[in-house]
Amino acid sequence: MKYEVQVFVTLKEAVLDPQGSAVNHSLNQHGYTEVEDVRIGKVITLTLDGEREAVDARVTEMCEKLLANPVIEDYRFEVREVAAQ
C-alpha cells in the first residue's frame, strides 16, 4: 500500500526561534497586535510504500536518525493512505 506521511518538525518550546520572532514582530507592525507568539517549523512530506503496521516505526526511525535534531527540535507525523497510481 502507498502512504503519504507528513512530518512536522518544530523547535522545542525552550529554544528561541529567531525566524518566528521576526515574523511575530512583522505581524504586529501590520496591525495584527493580537498575535503574541509565532513559531516556525517545517513540513516534510514523504510518499512511501509499505505495510501500514510498519510505517510508524520506520518513520519514527527516519525522524530520529535524520529528519529532526533532537537537541533543539520536536517532531510528529500524520499518515494517510493514498491511492496507488
Partner 1 sequence: MKFAVVVFPGSNCDIDMYHAVRDELGEEAAYVDYRETSLKEYDAVLLPGGFSFGDYLRSGAIAARLPIAEGIREAAAEGKPVLGVCNGFQVLLELGLLPGAMRRNRQLTFICKPVTLEVANSRTMFTGTYGSGEQVTIPVAHGEGNYFCDEETLEELRENDQIAFTYTDDVNGSVERIAGITNRAGNVLGMMPHPERAVDELLGSADGLKMFQSILTHWRETHAVKN
**Contacting residues toward partner 1, per CB under 8 A:** 11, 14-19, 22, 65-67, 69, 71-72
Residue with smaller CB distance to partner 1, 11 or 55:
11
- Sheet architecture: strand order including 2-11: 42-49, 2-11, 73-82
The answer to whether 77 and 8 have CB atoms below 8 angstroms apart is: yes
- In terms of DSSP bridges, do strands 42-49 and 73-82 run parallel, antiparallel, or are they unpaired? unpaired
Q: Cβ 21 to partner 1, closest distance in Å?
A: 8
Residue with smaller CB distance to partner 1, 26 or 81:
26
Q: Cβ 79 to partner 1, closest distance in Å?
A: 20
